[in-house]
Chains A and B, each alone.
Chain A
């Protein structure tokens, strides 16, 4: 790229900003944790993950961290996804394929409503406390 004007600079900033979003650990108060254990991957968890990333990008949401983890322990309902969000209860969704992933973004995260058809587990408060040492956000 050659010499820029102020407009060019602004455009470049916008373009590259999104690329760097993922590295930002501050300002990410919403977490989507995708179970990527062996069974999860076999059930298509990778596509689920991709779908989340795509939908978040389309919706321009910058405060969501998408993380991978090992198996969440619910092998029979893979792919499993846990959603942790302030003002919403912590939820584990099961059988989340690409389409469901996108619905979760639109309905749960943006719309702040649970996808009742896919809730698989809602971790008990005491288990939650024990796991991370913190109370639910």
Chain B
């Protein structure tokens, strides 16, 4: 028995950017200096999901869950916890001030989660193929190659009910089966790792934290549909994931789990990596394939679908990272096990990036059918700073808003669509009373307008027009005709755009208008932003009965718009005011109000 203790340091996106890398290095150094390097294994893993409180370090088997750990804390963790056996109290996660520190399985953030896709993230060292294998890695591939025929794999997927996790929710077994049945000498497998939704990092976490699962899944698919070559199209903005994938591919090849004659069978399969170059539209499957072919990343009309005519005109299966991550576990644990999770129409789990005005923001994985309320209040811990819930935006720039009336909606493909939103790749942004819905819609439109490829007129021209309209509305220059224009242009974009980017670009504005019409009308007719967010529509005033003339605001004002004598009521000159909000922030007497 080599190690008595394990320290798992989270190397996921959030924690890494909060310096968990140095924490990891320091822990190793401290352990060496304390002479306990042989006793404690220190591992950097993938994302734990509890990003709000990162960097996170777990000490096992003691089940100590340390949060907000700084690199300097390494010394104390080693000397106190490892050497002396005493946990570092101040770093332990507490549910609330009154409660004692919680055991990992008691943490409410994790209670309702069920980690299938993220099963290895936060557990194994993603750079160790042995650790992947130890947790049943490549068992599915072994089973498929030795005991199953391609039809058997398709049957298993069908019984499991897995649907594409890229956003469309198309039954995975059907896509594979179509591709299998097209007569062709060559077929291809492609992994869409171009995760482009702003704020989405689900695929990134899988690729950084458990890269082998994608390789294993693609190899299984190659066997099932009759392909010998796979491509992973990954955005160049994910250098760590690219590095880990390259390493994983080399490791798998060394072990004979990828490449020629896998596991001694007759089946050979190879995987190559292709990098994106900064285009969101290349996450659309036909544009992605064009990009791999060396052409301008622009979508093509479908049909023909990639199953029939994909990469270089050959039948191609293209699936999203999260879809791939489900495959090995479905094969090893069985379709029956998988089908028990989720709802009737949407089986399995879904990974969401829960962000926004929420207490516990981070990466979560829940069974399909979990209610929004559970996600926002139980897992998410409710709205931060005691503010009021306003809406949840799901599906990224292609999705819509869901209001409090619908919080009990079970999350699955059908229900979200009924509400005018989409599942998308799993973005979930929680908004509170201070978020202006017009601003949110404008933000998303700004993104899609920037990322439009420009091929088709409805999206290229319509998107820009919609953005300009929202911009004017947010600056108090909107009119009722603009509402009409939004509906007309939005409808045309939905119906006549060539690809999903254009077809869904109007969703945020159309959906938010449907549920928050008053807010739009306030901007247009009253030139007022109810959330107090749109800078041009906000005015700051000083309440005479609260102002004591301390002169702090006047001194802080960057444009000298506040006048007043000491101990006299101060006044803000509206014409000079640039609405920066500095006076509002600094007044200790709540004398500055925002309207």
A residues in contact (CB < 8 Å) with B: 1-6, 9-10, 12-13, 15-17, 19-20, 22-23, 25-26, 28, 34, 36-38, 40-41, 49-50, 53-54, 57, 65-70, 132-133
Q: Is the CB of B85 within 8 A of A25?
A: no
Which single member of B61, B84, B145, B146 contacts A28 (CB below 8 Å)?
B61
Minimum distance in angstroms from A18 CB to a CB of chain B: 8
Closest to A15 in B: B134
Q: Is the CB of A20 within 8 A of B264?
A: no
Interface stretch, picked from B1-9, B18-26, B70-78, B343-351, is B1-9
Known A-B contacts A26-B105, A65-B61; A20 and B85 likewise in contact (beta carbons under 8 Å): no
Minimum distance in angstroms from A60 CB to a CB of chain B: 12
Residues from chain B with a CB closer than 8 A to the CB of A2 are 254-256
User: Counting CB contacts under 8 A, is B86 at the interface?
Assistant: yes
Measured CA separation A49–B3 after assembly (Å): 12
Measured CA separation A54–B60 after assembly (Å): 17
Q: Is the CB of A22 within 8 A of B100?
A: no
Residues from chain B with a CB closer than 8 A to the CB of A54 are 1
Interface stretch, picked from B123-131, B156-164, B203-211, B525-533, is B123-131
Q: Is the CB of A17 within 8 A of B105?
A: no
Measured CA separation A132–B2 after assembly (Å): 31
Measured CA separation A89–B256 after assembly (Å): 50
Q: Is the CB of B3 within 8 A of A25?
A: no
Interface centre among B6, B84, B257 (most CB of A within 10 A): B84
Q: Is the CB of B84 within 8 A of A36?
A: yes
Minimum distance in angstroms from B560 CB to a CB of chain A: 58
Q: Is the CB of A20 within 8 A of B256?
A: no
Known A-B contacts A16-B130, A25-B63, A49-B4; A5 and B264 likewise in contact (beta carbons under 8 Å): yes
Q: Is the CB of B263 within 8 A of A5?
A: yes
Measured CA separation A86–B123 after assembly (Å): 26
Q: How large, as a class, is the contact surface on chain B?
A: 35 or more
User: Counting CB contacts under 8 A, is B135 at the interface?
Assistant: yes
Interface stretch, picked from B136-144, B315-323, B515-523, is B136-144
Q: Is the CB of B134 within 8 A of A16?
A: yes
Q: List 19 A-B contacts (CB under 8 A).
A: A2-B255, A6-B264, A9-B138, A9-B142, A13-B134, A13-B136, A17-B135, A20-B134, A22-B6, A23-B60, A25-B105, A26-B105, A37-B86, A40-B85, A50-B1, A65-B61, A68-B5, A70-B85, A70-B86
User: Counting CB contacts under 8 A, is B561 at the interface?
Assistant: no
Measured CA separation A43–B139 after assembly (Å): 45
Q: Is the CB of B133 within 8 A of A16?
A: yes
Known A-B contacts A16-B130, A20-B134, A53-B4; A1 and B254 likewise in contact (beta carbons under 8 Å): yes
In the A-B complex, the 7 residue pairs with the closest CB atoms: A3-B256, A36-B85, A16-B134, A68-B85, A65-B61, A5-B264, A53-B1
Interface centre among B5, B104, B134 (most CB of A within 10 A): B134
Known A-B contacts A17-B134, A36-B85, A69-B85; A6 and B146 likewise in contact (beta carbons under 8 Å): yes
